[in-house]
Structure 1
């Protein structure tokens, strides 16, 4: 039996309606800030796999935990310097274990997206009812902590089941980031749901794992902007960057994040925004006009 993708249709970017972002801006830029909790008794993202199966795994757990203790605060300072609000990809367990981070985001009016419960677990293998219970708890926890029901989702490790978008729609969400296959938002074949661009390529976790230097990172972001701007003369584009505080929050890297943010914030064609605002504007000006 051959499975075919029914979640979304093929749509060449050359065959879509022309549109611009608010104020005639051409490139919508957002920071996808991964704010994650990791269990001490399960393996997860590792800087060295040699100890990943140990319990406790002090080496890898400590590397990840640096993000919540130190790195996130460095990143927040960089965002504040350039007037950029984060799109916070929040594990709901952070509400319990790192409430100071949530408080800092509330002070800054971040957009809050559901990023599962913890980055040590995924919904793969759950029944539909188990997943519904799991997602409901995560959504409700974040809603209670932030005072507003979240609108967006990104799965831990960008994971979903075939049921995930439908359950998220039932829970009142209206967009997902998991399918990193476009430079524009697009409608899903789940009524009311859409995809908003996220990035695997301008993602600090993958970039710096390959040995990329800080200056090279800045140049990559500049190059991405310049090409998207040239293409956006016909139709607007989205430029996301993905950040993990235990990676980009290292002192020798945050220096270069600051340079990249300074560059983008100075560009007259850039809309500094959040995923919530991108989804809402695209829905109103493009999808609702079809």
Structure 2
């Protein structure tokens, strides 16, 4: 049966038929690091490393694997970010503000960008009725604003989930961009007033890569290959490179040196703009 649902959120416009994007300082590739800082519920399944115990309550194996990120992994990751002068674009579950205030404090001292990322990654947003979703989004955004002193500009849904109402509800709350639609190497305007899409990646993403058996040296090479191809593509119009990280994955001890090597490579590139998703969105909107 043919689909009766048309995509009204954005139009098709190939990358070959757009005005040129010029990044600050003549940079060719705008790079941001999307750091997923999340809270998980003890009695609900979520991202897992082992499927055999996901239906148990408590699921000590998978919950503990996820919880490593907030307890240990993020602090190791912060060391690399600081070493290479990279500010995180934090995809923040609002429950983090209650459960891990030390992470908020560390991010505030480093001027991280804060994006709303739902309440917890144990609860997806799909199929919420509009009034329930409006209350939910308002609570998430207000909680993050209270905890960070900054009202978020960007959004990524837990599991990259939305409803058909999400973009317009976020616009009502003053947000200006989404990361959920991973379909481009450049920002583009949505058919919602004052709302754009900024590139994110489910491919250049530690969960996807390491979940498929990618090794540390292979991860470094993949980061290099991604940058080099985007740099080649950007000869006449700028591109965006997003690196998606989760502290419970990239923060494992045996992966740490490879993240450091990847960031060292990126920080040394003469044509890169080391920035945040907030600054990418703002520059695109006002160019």
Q: TM-score, normalised by structure 1?
A: 0.98
Q: Corresponding residue for 1:138?
A: 140
- The answer to whether residue 97 in structure 2 is matched with residue 95 in structure 1 is yes
Q: Corresponding residue for 1:83?
A: 85
Per the alignment, in what secondary structure is the counterpart of residue 237 of structure 2?
A: coil
Structure 2 CA distance, aligned partners of 1:20 and 1:216? 31
Structure 1 CA distance, aligned partners of 2:126 and 2:266? 37
Q: Corresponding residue for 1:11?
A: 13
Q: Corresponding residue for 2:203?
A: 201
Q: Corresponding residue for 2:39?
A: 37
RMSD: 0.6
Structure 1 CA distance, aligned partners of 2:41 and 2:127? 19
Structure 2 CA distance, aligned partners of 1:125 and 1:226? 39
- The answer to whether residue 55 in structure 2 is matched with residue 53 in structure 1 is yes
Structure 1 CA distance, aligned partners of 2:30 and 2:127? 36
Unaligned runs of 5+ in 2: none
Instruction: Please give the residue correspondences for 1:96-115 in structure 2 after superposition, counting only pairs within 5 Å.
Output: 96-115=98-117
Structure 2 CA distance, aligned partners of 1:179 and 1:125? 17
Match for 1:269 among 271, 274, 284? 271
Match for 1:251 among 246, 250, 253? 253
Residues matched between the structures, number? 285
Q: Corresponding residue for 1:2?
A: 4
Structure 1 CA distance, aligned partners of 2:267 and 2:54? 39
Instruction: Please give the residue correspondences for 1:136-285 in structure 2 after superposition, counting only pairs within 5 Å.
Output: 136-285=138-287
Q: TM-score, normalised by structure 2?
A: 0.99
Unaligned runs of 5+ in 1: 286-290
Deviation of residue 125 (structure 1)?
A: 2.5
Deviations 1:206-256 (A, max 9, x none): 000000000000000101111111110110000000000000000111110
Deviations 1:10-36 (A, max 9, x none): 010000111221000000010000000
Deviation of residue 126 (structure 1)?
A: 1.6
